[in-house]
Amino acid sequence: TGAIGSAVNPLATDIANLAARTSTGGVYVADVSGLTIASIGGVAGVDAAGAVVILVAAGNLDTEAGATIAGSSVALAAGAGKIGGAGAVATRTGMLIAAADTGIDIANTNATLTATLNSNSGMARLTTTGQLFSGGAWSADTIDLSATGLILTHALTSTGETAIRRSSAGTIGVGDGAGDMVVSGSELQLITAGSLTIGGANTTAVTVDGVTNADTANIAGLVTLDAGEITFSGAASTFGSLQADAA
């Protein structure tokens, strides 16, 4: 019981594997090397029982199969490495902040998630089983996000591709188009990228309505729509460069 470390004085470690559980308080750990969240002695990962989890590693930060990082909010950092270098880091939280040097790969399970991901290089990839809200500005060489819904209120900035996908089967509306997930014109304007992909294997249909040239002005290259069916309806839509791939 009680907190493990604190926000001001995290538990300082130099270990390869970590499992931790507390019934009250949070978990605060700073490791001087790489760190793998593991299953040890019946504890499968890090579970803060609805409190805060902050894990900082100087190198890579990973979870082994079957281990999950769970808390009301989770903050992860890999100072000179990657979060999820050995496969997607498993989290269960409604609030996530992740920062790394060479890439981020996280798979989250929760009905809603407010997230902010920033990597100095490489890809920032997040898959969540529910609705995704941006908690702050995102940045990486490439960004790949998958969710069942999206509310974007902060900038997504990548030099390469940004991809917006569904984490389960459903539809996407673009601009004023209707869908289970909607990427509105104002949300498109928050995306700066070398290219933009909307849709993918789980997207049954994309409906485009009233996208203006200004909405995708910050996309340097191609906008790709990828779905089982693609429909342009309502007001005319304008793209600088568009590819529509309907299966």
Token pair, residue 110, equals: 């929760």
Token digits of residue 224:
């790709």
The C-alpha atoms of residue 212 and residue 56 are separated, in whole angstroms, by 42
pTM beyond cutoff 0.85: yes
pLDDT of 1 above 80 = no
Binned at pLDDT 50, 70 and 90, residue 157 comes out as very high
Residue pLDDT, tens place only, 111-147: 999 999 999 999 999 999 999 999 999 999 999 999 9
Q: What are phi and psi of 44, to 5 degrees?
A: -100, 80
pLDDT one-digit tens code per residue, 61-74: 999 999 999 999 99
Check: CB of residue 104 under 8 Å from CB of residue 143: no
Which secondary-structure segment (H or E) carries 187?
helix 185-188
CA distance 18 to 44: 10
